[in-house]
Amino acid sequence: WDEFKEKQPKTPTRFRVRLKPIIYYNFGFSDDRKWRSYLVESPDGNHRLFAYVERGSRVDDLINFADNPGGRDYVLDLRFPADNPGSNQVLIEDRIAEGWVEPEPTDSP
């Protein structure tokens, strides 16, 4: 987490996280009609970032809080946006799994 926050990679990095919906729209993510906002926490609760996903996107459709509005565990690919340096705001690039167990890779015939 420290290295991720320090280097702020623009390519996706995989994390196990606790994801909670929040209402926080600021800087490059100020349009609440375009973005859905979340608080991303490390499993130990020591690290937090604001995370965003574009409303109506495939990834937005994969994140669901209908039966647990207080938060859920996910495996997510996160990255820093290219146009928002020095921030604590990240993009949710992909939802890999609900829960902290990644699916087994499948072999294509």
For residue range 56-101, what is the model confidence (pLDDT) as tens digits?
999 999 998 767 777 899 999 999 998 876 689 999 999 999 988 7
Tokens of 24: 């926080």
The CA–CA distances, whole Å, from 56 to 48, 53, 63 equal: 24, 9, 11
**Residue 64, domain extent:** 2-98
| CA distance linking residue 15 with residue 106, whole number of Å | 21
Torsion of CA 74, 29, 78, 80, to 10 degrees: -160
Q: Does residue 64 sit within a domain?
A: yes
Q: Flag whether 81 is in a domain.
A: yes
| Total domains, the chain | 1
Residue 104 lies in a domain: no
Beta strands in the chain (DSSP E): 13-21, 35-41, 48-54, 72-79, 89-98
Is 80 exceeded by the pLDDT of residue 49? yes
